[in-house]
Amino acid sequence: MEGQDTTPREALGTTVRRLLDGMDLEEKIGQLCLVNGAEGSIPQWLAEDVAAGRVGGILNEVDPTVACQLQQLALTRPSGLPLLMGRDVIHGFHTVFPIPLGQAASWSADLVEACAAHAAVEAAACGLNWTFAPMLDVARDPRWGRVAESLGEDPLLVSRLGAAMVRGFQGGDLRDPTRLAACAKHFAGYGASEGGRDYNSCPLSERELRQVHFPPFQAALEAGVATVMASFCDVDGLPASANAFLLDQVLRGEWGFRGFVVSDWESVGQLTLHGVAEDEGDAALQAAKAGLDMEMAGSSFRRHLANLVRDGALTLERLDAMVAAVLAVKERLGLLEGLRPLPTEPSPDVGAALAYKAALECAVLLRNEGELLPLRRDAVRTLALLGPLADEAAEQMGTWVFDGEAARSVTPLTALRKWEGPGFQILHHAGLDTTRDLDARHLDDAAALAARADVAVLVLGEEAILSGEAHCRADIRLPGAQEELLRRVAATGTPTVLVLMAGRPLALEGIHDLPHATLCMFHAGNQAGPALRDLLFGVAEPVGKLPVTFPRQSGQLPVHYSHNPTGRPADEGSYTPMAQIPQGAKQHSLGNTSHYLDAGYTPLYPFGHGLGYAHLQLRNLRLDREELKAGERLSITVELVNEGPRAGTETVQLYVRDLVASLSRPVKELKDFRRVCLEAGDRMELRFQLGEEDLRFVGRQQRWISEAGRFQLWVGTSSAAGLEAFFTLA
């Protein structure tokens, strides 16, 4: 299947039609070329190309003076058009917020939208008008480096938070000079990259694409996203950059997308490396006919589109449709009316306040044995702060922070030292030079400080360079000698808190029970230090929930909560740990169920898990009917009670399972969630609703259907626990 040749001219705005009619072939092709800038200067070749109309957009120029000069050059021709100015504004700009995976741990659309909106203003003040975010890939294999840039493993969670990020970047009107055009990426299926390796194949069925990987992009389109980026990967053998099923049939035909599709970096020319294009010209033709509109960084369109049109291989109508899509986005940005004024960047204090709030809300308390946390100020006179990430201003910002300023970061050591004084002392030792350091010579020195302290806090994890694009790991345990550092500190008997700063879930089997408490902050941005201090001492409460599953071992991967059932499921009665297998056991003596002999069948921490300091309980789950009919809504109520002495926050989650269907259905699927705050001693009734449309799935004919039958329902505080009920769909 090839892309549509035309966008109906009556669907184009008057201005876009007029511009198209006045452009020659070279100018039209120029609008489809996204060129990498020189970052702070304008070399002669770039000045000539911009002035000649051979460039439609520039990426990676953040000097506002240079950006304005480039825009002026673009207007020198009578038909000159302002440039799109793009940049990876992923989780902040000058102010750095938690990585997207960390923001997803908040389960808060409001927070995600606020962070994107602030980043947009800072970026727009430097002349940018386009960002390559949000990344909407559903990520279920944390070996993949780009899991850090994801919003988690669940389509519903990714959809809600991704749409919120679009709204934050774009606001209500893209003509607002403080807003950026967003770009939903990577369409589609990139989160299923085989083996968790970047740029790798994604062997996905159409059903899995439609059920798991498409919904976040549909949500972004409903939120008004201006642009879409095609994925690097091949999907079932056909690279996304030349995949007419994705770009034309689904994106434009089924969903009615009217923005433009941009390639990922040089991915058009890389069609030859995939082995589906004979040469660069063939690659350009396949991409253009499939529905790709703009090429990022490569030269395939620039070099070959004109000849392809002249030779008749690519119709002029198809080329005009590509150009019109780009012009339509420029029109939405107000660029066809002239240059946008540069807004004033917010003060660093405003960004710091939001970054602090984000770092607080993104922290997930994984473990809290004996309720060690929160620490009591009057009971801790000496605190040992240990680990290679306790005082690393740049590392705590995480991946994709091209414009982030480490000078704005406040580290845990800096934050805790502000509290030092009579009666409270900080003992600090990194123990290791980096998170990858294997040199154990300083571990005993760090442990000796722990032995002198009332409590030890170890800040361990990954440096920023260990996650992000092309930074995949086969073994996602704590790197270097960090596990040994934790063992030596725990051996002192001092109450120990493990703080994880990482770009992914980590496999903690063998060490997870050494600390009394474990707090996961992912890479929490500039204000990780003050947030950690206040969480440790109960000034604030951890409210985060895991947006991804934490495996026990890397060998369990990929692992996610909403897997399909197996005909031989494992449970406690059918699983014998490898160490307990009798010598000489017969082949079938242990039973035959789906598990690993050395890792079991459950993850270490499930999707949706997260503890707090308050004592909140769910009670009295009720359904208003036992049978749901088409056109009706099932009303689900549950009571949340705060039985403790302090206020608390809980994210209450609704899951459903279709017990019998024409296709095997997941053991659980998230259908709704609500984050609520409750004062000490209070109670609240929460109400959820389900309709027939919430129970649909992609059937055997690749269409969304629902089927009558019995359903199981849970309302809980994670995917692994909750109150349950049953109902029937008539």
- Rounded Cα gap, residues 396 and 359, in angstroms: 11
The pLDDT of residue 710 is 98
What tens digit of pLDDT does each residue of 674-709 get?
Answer: 999 999 999 999 999 999 999 999 999 999 999 999
Give me the catalytic one of 264, 282, 320, 534: 264
Q: Is 264 a catalytic residue?
A: yes
Q: Provide the residue ranges of all domains of the chain, joining segments of one domain with +.
A: 23-85, 363-536, 562-602, 616-729
β-strand pairing of 227-230 with 183-187: parallel
- Rounded Cα gap, residues 160 and 459, in angstroms: 31
The strand pairing partners of 202, in sequence order, are 235
Q: Which backbone phi and psi does 534 adopt, to 5 degrees?
A: -75, -30
User: Strand, helix or coil at 361?
Assistant: helix
Specify the range with the lowest mean pLDDT, choosing from 127-131, 492-496, 571-575: 571-575
The pLDDT of residue 376 is 95
- Rounded Cα gap, residues 712 and 708, in angstroms: 13
> What is the average pLDDT across 257-272?
97
Q: Is the dihedral of CA 334, 338, 339, 342 positive or negative?
A: negative
- Rounded Cα gap, residues 149 and 137, in angstroms: 9
Q: Which CATH architecture has domain 363-536?
A: 3-Layer(aba) Sandwich (3.40)
Can the peptide bond before residue 516 be classed as cis, meaning omega within 30 degrees of 0? no
- Rounded Cα gap, residues 572 and 582, in angstroms: 17
What tens digit of pLDDT does each residue of 348-404 get?
Answer: 999 999 999 999 999 999 999 999 999 999 999 999 999 999 999 999 999 999 999
Q: How far is C-alpha 407 from the geometric centre of its chain's CA atoms?
A: 25
Instruction: Read off the amino acid at residue 169.
Output: F
- Rounded Cα gap, residues 463 and 434, in angstroms: 8
The pLDDT of residue 274 is 96
Structure tokens at 457: 């806090």
The pLDDT of residue 590 is 83
- Rounded Cα gap, residues 332 and 201, in angstroms: 35
Cβ(262)–Cβ(294) under 8 Å?
Answer: yes
The pLDDT of residue 263 is 98
The pLDDT of residue 497 is 98
> What is the average pLDDT across 292-319?
97
What tens digit of pLDDT does each residue of 49-99 get?
Answer: 999 999 999 999 999 999 999 999 999 988 889 999 999 999 999 999 999
Structure tokens at 676: 């609520």
Can the peptide bond before residue 82 be classed as cis, meaning omega within 30 degrees of 0? no
Residue with tokens 């009734």: 685
Instruction: Read off the amino acid at residue 398.
Output: G
Cβ(558)–Cβ(193) under 8 Å?
Answer: no
- Rounded Cα gap, residues 425 and 382, in angstroms: 5
Cβ(254)–Cβ(196) under 8 Å?
Answer: no
Question: H or E stretch including 461?
Answer: strand 455-461
Cβ(719)–Cβ(561) under 8 Å?
Answer: yes
The strand pairing partners of 698, in sequence order, are 704
The pLDDT of residue 290 is 98
The strand pairing partners of 605, in sequence order, are 550
Structure tokens at 374: 């929160």
Query: Does the domain spanning 616-729 belong to CATH 2.60.40.10?
Result: yes
The pLDDT of residue 1 is 45
Structure tokens at 437: 């350091």
Q: Which backbone phi and psi does 671 adopt, to 5 degrees?
A: -115, -25
* Model confidence, pTM: 0.97
Q: pLDDT averaged over the chain?
A: 96
> What is the average pLDDT across 576-599?
89
The pLDDT of residue 2 is 55
Could you give the C-alpha distances from 315 to 285, 521, 553, 560, 700, in angstroms and in order? Answer: 10, 52, 53, 45, 37
3 has pLDDT over 70: no
722 has pLDDT over 50: yes
574 has pLDDT over 90: no
Between residues 574 and 109, the one the model is more confident about: 109
Specify the range with the lowest mean pLDDT, choosing from 274-288, 580-594, 635-649: 580-594
Straight-line distance from the first to the last Cα atom of the chain, in angstroms, rounded to the nearest whole number = 39
How many CB atoms are closer than 10 A to CB 135? 29
> What is the average pLDDT across 31-60?
96
Q: Burial level of 95, CB count in 10 A (0-12/13-18/19+)?
A: buried
Residues 6+ apart with CB under 8 A from 81: 19, 31, 53, 56, 74, 75, 327, 330, 335, 336
When pLDDT is cut at 50, 70 and 90, the band that residue 7 belongs to is low
> What is the average pLDDT across 321-329?
97
Q: Which backbone phi and psi does 722 adopt, to 5 degrees?
A: 165, 170
575 has pLDDT over 90: no
Q: How many residues does the chain have?
A: 730
529 has pLDDT over 60: yes
